[in-house]
């Protein structure tokens, strides 16, 4: 029951965060979720013991689908062309960051070298979701954005292997370089193979089902949504990287979507909408959990044990990563000073880092060192979010503000609706049908008040259903209205190229509205 209550609280606070973020468009939703998570952690009704946090379950249920969807948003052929650069940024640079961060942490003389490298290994994975939070409303250059995205997709496996090596060093007192290299090759390579093979089998099964007489849109979507969980679980059972497996599976599904999106448009559209909902909700949940965990960590005196060394170590880990990333970007990728800092500061840490920190609790690392790891990595996460949020405001160009874009969109939509209403007004229609159609057209721009809705709702409840003739009138009215709206958008797109993005957005809204109207089914008496 406690787990169910906690899940309800997480979803509730995540939804509230999404709503609040819409009210304050200049603040990233991730920061709002982080604050809401902190509030949840401070509530007396929240009695969650952070030591019972299960990182494996968190990675399976939250991180795996997010990485799968992120991978699906990436073209497979682009990854294929940049394999060398991806290897450099996710393996070579990660290794350099771990070495520098490890020895720098050890240099302060407060911890042993194995523990220093445990800290360093956990500090290497970056988080695509967290990176988005620090670039909200800003334009990140395409090249640096590509490197940051590829790094966040593929560098988790490197961090996990390095962490395993450091933990074995901590326990046994020695490093087995050959075993570590073998583990990395098997984990990463196995993850790629498992991800591609299982994803390809699932894709072929779904495509065969699609072309059979047994096809079901709902079943297809459910299979698709289950894919990241299945692949991550199977990959981990084979003792290979589940993270790399789900990313590779996402790449396979990207290619599938490109070539089969019109084979069953309804399925693709439904799947796309569900992915959008799940991604937004899970992203918010990730930061709600992060905020809640950070507050609980600070509240737990047995973890902080009245020592401030974790603040110093967290700062050292962050500075080490930033400096190595900057130098590596300048030398290896020939970045200029500005690009180097964008790439360096853009490596933001988040859920994966905190999750790896909690995996240490399941090893033979003593409780005091585990507490130091959790606190230090928490400082790293906070610094990696706050510093770029401030600096990027000075070195990145501002994107077109949502407010300006929404204003342009609303103006176009309003004029489009007026054109449609004028067409309906000229048609011969029953009074009740015409009134209902005009109300629905006005609602396209939320141009009706709640009182109007209540009135129409009462009419729908009290009055009898339309006759067949009235239903046909309504369909014809909507078809003519939507046709007029499309004609208006065509005219605008030919006159004003700057409206092209908004025209396509409105065009898709019209097509969806027409589909809903033509396919409406209700139970009749």
| Domain assignment of residue 420, given as a range | 402-518
Same domain? 146 vs 110: yes
* Angle made by CA atoms 488, 490, 495, in degrees to the nearest 5: 95
Residue 343 CA: distances (Å) to CA of 393, 468, 484: 15, 63, 48
Average pLDDT over residues 171-196: 86
* Tens digits of residue pLDDT in 107-161: 987 889 999 999 999 999 998 777 777 887 788 898 898 899 888 888 888 888 8
Lowest mean pLDDT among 28-37, 302-311, 502-511: 302-311
* Tens digits of residue pLDDT in 426-485: 888 888 888 888 888 888 877 667 777 777 677 767 666 777 888 888 889 999 999 998
Q: Is 137 left (phi over 0), alpha (psi -120 to 50) or beta?
A: left
- Domain end marker among 366, 398, 430: 398
- Domain end marker among 352, 382, 398: 398
Same domain? 421 vs 338: no
- pLDDT-derived band at 523 (thresholds 50, 70, 90) equals very low
Q: Give me the percent of the chain exceeding a pLDDT of 70.
A: 92
Q: Look at residue 72 in the predicted model and tell me its pLDDT.
A: 87
Same domain? 213 vs 266: yes
Closest C-alpha among 239, 279, 284 to residue 29: 284
Residue 421 confidence (pLDDT) above 80: yes
Residue 523 lies in a domain: no
Closest C-alpha among 321, 390, 397 to residue 353: 321
Higher-confidence residue: 56 or 45?
56
Same domain? 333 vs 472: no
Average pLDDT over residues 226-230: 94
Number of domains in the chain: 2
Distance CA 279, CA 348 (A): 19
Average pLDDT over residues 242-264: 83
* Tens digits of residue pLDDT in 481-499: 999 988 888 888 777 766 6
* Tens digits of residue pLDDT in 89-119: 999 999 999 999 999 999 987 889 999 999 9
Residue 397 confidence (pLDDT) above 70: yes
Distance CA 112, CA 153 (A): 31
Q: Look at residue 342 in the predicted model and tell me its pLDDT.
A: 94
CATH number at residue 77: 1.20.1530.20
> What count of other Cβ atoms lies within 10 Å of the Cβ of residue 69?
19
Q: Look at residue 522 in the predicted model and tell me its pLDDT.
A: 47
- The first and second tokens of residue 4, run together, are 């169910």
Q: Look at residue 171 in the predicted model and tell me its pLDDT.
A: 87
Same domain? 76 vs 33: yes
Same domain? 446 vs 301: no
Residue 306 confidence (pLDDT) above 60: no
Q: At what angle do helices 29-42 and 2-23 cross, to 10 degrees?
A: 140
């Amino acid at each position: 029951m406690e787990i169910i209550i906690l899940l309800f609280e997480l979803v509730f606070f995540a939804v509230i965060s999404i709503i609040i973020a819409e009210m304050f468009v200049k603040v990233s939703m991730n920061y709002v979720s982080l604050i809401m998570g902190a509030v949840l952690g401070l509530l007396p009704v929240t009695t969650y013991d952070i030591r019972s946090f299960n990182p494996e379950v968190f990675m399976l249920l939250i991180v795996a689908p997010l990485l799968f969807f992120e991978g699906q948003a990436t073209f497979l052929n682009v990854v294929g062309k940049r394999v060398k650069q991806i290897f450099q940024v996710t393996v070579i640079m990660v290794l350099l960051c771990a070495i520098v961060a490890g020895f720098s942490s050890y240099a302060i003389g407060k911890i042993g070298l194995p523990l220093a490298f445990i800290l360093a290994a956990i500090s290497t994975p970056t988080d695509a979701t967290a990176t988005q939070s620090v670039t909200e409303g800003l334009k990140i250059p395409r090249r640096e954005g590509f490197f940051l995205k590829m790094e966040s997709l593929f560098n988790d496996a490197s961090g996990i292997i390095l962490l395993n090596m450091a933990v074995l060093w901590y326990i046994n007192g020695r490093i087995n370089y050959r075993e570590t290299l073998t583990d990395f090759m098997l984990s990463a390579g196995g993850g790629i193979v498992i991800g591609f093979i299982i994803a390809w089998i699932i894709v072929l099964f779904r495509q065969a089902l699609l072309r059979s007489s047994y096809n079901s849109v709902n079943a297809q979507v459910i299979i698709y949504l289950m894919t990241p969980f299945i692949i991550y679980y199977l990959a981990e059972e084979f003792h290979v990287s589940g993270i790399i497996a789900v990313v590779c599976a996402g790449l396979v599904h990207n290619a599938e979507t490109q070539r089969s999106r019109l084979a069953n448009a309804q399925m693709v559209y439904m799947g796309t909408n569900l992915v959008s909902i799940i991604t937004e909700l899970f992203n918010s949940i990730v930061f709600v959990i992060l905020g809640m965990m950070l507050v609980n960590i600070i509240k737990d005196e047995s973890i902080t044990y009245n020592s401030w060394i974790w603040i110093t170590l967290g700062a050292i880990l962050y500075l080490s990563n930033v400096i190595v990333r900057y130098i590596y970007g300048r030398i290896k990728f020939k970045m200029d000073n500005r690009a180097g800092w964008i790439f360096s500061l853009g490596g933001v840490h988040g859920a994966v880092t905190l999750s790896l920190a909690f995996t240490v609790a399941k090893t033979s690392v003593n409780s005091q060192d585990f507490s130091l790891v959790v606190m230090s990595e928490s400082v790293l996460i906070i610094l990696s979010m706050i510093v770029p949020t401030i600096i990027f405001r000075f070195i990145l160009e501002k994107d077109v503000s949502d407010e300006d874009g929404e204003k342009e969109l609303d103006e176009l939509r309003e004029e489009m609706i007026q054109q449609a209403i004028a067409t309906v007004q000229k048609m011969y229609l029953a009074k009740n049908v015409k009134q209902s159609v005009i109300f629905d057209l006005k609602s396209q721009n939320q141009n009706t008040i709640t009182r109007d809705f209540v009135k129409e709702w009462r009419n729908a409840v009290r009055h009898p259903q339309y006759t067949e003739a009235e239903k046909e009138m309504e369909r014809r009215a909507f078809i003519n209205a939507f046709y007029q709206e499309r004609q208006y958008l065509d005219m605008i797109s030919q006159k004003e190229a700057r409206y092209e993005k908004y025209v396509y957005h409105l065009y898709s809204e019209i097509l969806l509205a027409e589909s809903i109207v033509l396919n409406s089914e209700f139970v009749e008496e």
